[in-house]
Chain A
Amino acid sequence: MLRVRDLAVGFDTPAGFLRAVDGVSFDVHAGRTLGIVGESGCGKSVTASTVLRLVPRPPGRILGGEVWLGEQDVLTLPSDDLPGIRGNEISMIFQDPMTSLNPVFTVERQLFEVLAMRFGMSRQQAHARSVEMLRTVGIAEPESRLRAYPHELSGGMKQRVMIAMALLCEPRVLIADEPTTALDVTIQAQILHLIKDLQQRTGTAVILITHDMGVVAETCDDVAVMYAGRIVETGGIVEVFDSARHPYTRGLLASIPRRGQGRKAELPTIEGIVPSLTAPIEGCRFAGRCWKRRTLGAADAARCASEDPALRAFAGGEVACHFPVEGTVRPEEMTS
């Protein structure tokens, strides 16, 4: 449904040119959900905005890559065609609802515009459909909410309105960037339920960006793990959670507290911090923090520092590491 190839995006910053996304490729299929996970600043949101050509320019610059939606490359389309793509073909749910809600129009007016443009609905038709959708996303008294302006709604309510708006379009591809991070767990469960529901009815392909491994495990079919502007591992959800091959993925999964894991026990951590994206990166971008590398001989460890590992296929996925992890690893091995 959506094929992204070799995406590279950078920003001019006071500290120099920052390579936010550095060669990212992935596919999303109809009716499936791809999770994109990784630490803050690793390029998840920039990747998502690039797919819709929403990167602010300046300071942003798309350096290269292709975004194939069916037979057309979104990155080379004339700008006039973009509004037709956004919303109709690809909808996006942002972490901050005010990015997509207009503060000066009522909820009704905003939902009407979407429905009129997408399906050519009349005001009456749009009203009925909006009421129905607001109810579906769990908004009580939808009639009176329709007359409200965004600032009159609570945070959770605004998020739901934005989700309603995205779902009303019945897009082919839905990109949800941390759609529930700001919400409580019970509301999060409702929203994720809704997205799944829509997907089952319309076969929408979903990209779900999150830093919550629980959310990924629960909702995604495939997952891509990003680190410092690159995808370092992708695969089926069960493969990645059960037998991740990249040392970073292993560390990330080990560091989350889980049920039944000795209370107050020391948690595995990933020492160190992510490399600066304004300096050129030599070798593997995870090398400075990599526990696996510390177990290698001098020659192998030197290879990690000099040679940038490319994504290579293995059974059930792809990994960018010269020495992929195999078998079980004790938590102590990752921390020491």
Chain B
Amino acid sequence: MSDGNGAVPILQVENLKKYYPVRGGVMGRKIGDVRAVDGVSFSVREGETMGLVGESGCGKSTLARALLRLEDPTDGTVLFEGNDIATASKQDLFQLRRDLQIIFQDPYSSLNPRMTVGEIVREPLLVHGVGSKEEQVRKVRDLLETVGLSGDVIERYPHEFSGGQRQRVGIARALALEPKLVVADEPVSALDVSVQSQVLNLMMRLQKERGLTYIFVSHDLSVVEHVSDTLAIMYLGRIVEHGPVDAIYGRPAHPYTRALLEAVPVPDPKQRRVSVPLEGEAPSPVSPPAGCPFHPRCPFAIEACKAAVPALEPVGAKVVDGQAEHFAACIRQGEI
């Protein structure tokens, strides 16, 4: 919520990179890199939601995992309340993990099928030695109630629940340690629309009540618009546009953002699009094109776009606290 204690960045990411080696030949030697995340910088303010969008393979999930150090980043810093997650020692990381949680996309595979719902939600409390046995059991009941599941589900197993209910279990587990930042990687993509809205309502309510900060990864631009305060759009491992949701949806500055927004079908038959869709597919991150990664598909590309990777530059004149808020990485952003 931008009207909360919104000014403080809780997370500051600086030039984050995650490369995977590509091996080839008979010796399986390294012959190149997949640049899954290639120099990403952004910050998120406490109590806000940053939506992270982009097409499959653009590096969203890798970025989400690198932020929480579920993968070791190749380079860069991830400052969470001033501590660098990217280089923290094992011990420090263990402590930091209490404040940082993740909700996964697939409610079917992210819960251990051999554990009861009660055990699943309690596990983080056990691992971190929080409270006595009685306190833990009470906490598990409270958490399940918070996410709208009655206490009698404790003894049951994940397969006995619907997708929406399983996603609630995942959320209860993520909240067990009272984290400050929750990374949600496609949390509602696997759910039916009517269930999707239940889970979104729950996440928004928990944010209001607990002042949670979210990074909400999704490919669904309507969902992202509804829940986010700010937005980062990724293409081929880089952020191409970043800023407040209203500014970006109101006047997208990057041609890719524009194409993406135009491609979203509107649920209103009286507003059909006539525009011709963007052509081609995103190129492979193993051999990204020179210059602007979007230039081969960009309807506005000129020769100069092939020369160098454009940096994120401020868009327009809107400045808050001496800092620009809206950025885009396109050399023609002012003209188009």
> A residues bordering B, Cβ < 8 Å?
39-40, 138, 140, 154-157, 184-190, 192-193, 211-220, 237-238, 241, 251-253, 255-259, 261, 263-271, 273
B222/A257 in contact, CB under 8 A: yes
By a CB distance below 8 angstroms, the chain B residues around A189 are 262-263, 265, 277-278
Does B301 touch A at the CB level, under 8 Å? no
Does B112 touch A at the CB level, under 8 Å? no
Known: A263-B226, A264-B227. A252 touches B194 (CB 8 A): yes
A269/B192 in contact, CB under 8 A: no
By a CB distance below 8 angstroms, the chain A residues around B201 are 266-267, 269
Tell me the bound Cα distance from A140 to B283 in angstroms.
11
A217/B265 in contact, CB under 8 A: yes
A255/B221 in contact, CB under 8 A: no
B222/A267 in contact, CB under 8 A: no
Known: A184-B219, A255-B194, A273-B162. A267 touches B267 (CB 8 A): no
**A to B contact number (C-beta, < 8 Å):** 130
Does B56 touch A at the CB level, under 8 Å? yes
B192/A213 in contact, CB under 8 A: no
Does B106 touch A at the CB level, under 8 Å? no
> B residues bordering A, Cβ < 8 Å?
1, 55-56, 162-164, 192-198, 200-201, 204-205, 219, 221-223, 225-228, 245-246, 249, 259-260, 262-273, 276-282
By a CB distance below 8 angstroms, the chain A residues around B267 are 213-214, 216-217, 241, 253, 256, 258
By a CB distance below 8 angstroms, the chain B residues around A138 are 279-281
Known: A256-B222, A259-B225, A264-B1. A218 touches B56 (CB 8 A): no
Tell me the bound Cα distance from A196 to B135 in angstroms.
60
By a CB distance below 8 angstroms, the chain A residues around B192 are 39-40, 211
From A213, which residue of chain B is reached at the shortest CB distance? B267
Shortest C-beta distance, A331 to chain B (Å), equals 10
By a CB distance below 8 angstroms, the chain A residues around B280 are 138, 140
Known: A39-B192, A186-B263. A257 touches B200 (CB 8 A): yes
Known: A213-B193, A264-B227, A268-B197. A185 touches B264 (CB 8 A): yes
By a CB distance below 8 angstroms, the chain A residues around B264 are 185, 214
B55/A184 in contact, CB under 8 A: yes
Q: Pull 7 A–B residue pairs with CB atoms less than 8 Å apart, ordered by A.
A: A138-B281, A189-B262, A238-B269, A252-B194, A255-B193, A259-B249, A259-B266
From B207, which residue of chain A is reached at the shortest CB distance? A264
By a CB distance below 8 angstroms, the chain B residues around A264 are 1, 204, 226-227
Known: A156-B281, A266-B204. A257 touches B194 (CB 8 A): no
Shortest C-beta distance, B159 to chain A (Å), equals 13
Q: Which of A39, A154, A185 contacts B194 (CB 8 A)?
A: A39
Q: Which of A214, A220, A261, A269 contacts B266 (CB 8 A)?
A: A214
By a CB distance below 8 angstroms, the chain B residues around A155 are 56
Known: A39-B194, A263-B245, A266-B201. A184 touches B56 (CB 8 A): yes
B273/A218 in contact, CB under 8 A: yes
B265/A270 in contact, CB under 8 A: no
Q: Which of A215, A253, A257, A271 contacts B265 (CB 8 A)?
A: A215
A190/B222 in contact, CB under 8 A: no
Add 18 more A-B contacts to A154-B281, A185-B263, A259-B225 (CB < 8 A). A39-B194, A138-B279, A156-B281, A186-B278, A192-B265, A213-B267, A214-B266, A215-B265, A217-B266, A217-B267, A217-B272, A218-B265, A219-B265, A241-B269, A257-B197, A263-B226, A264-B227, A269-B194
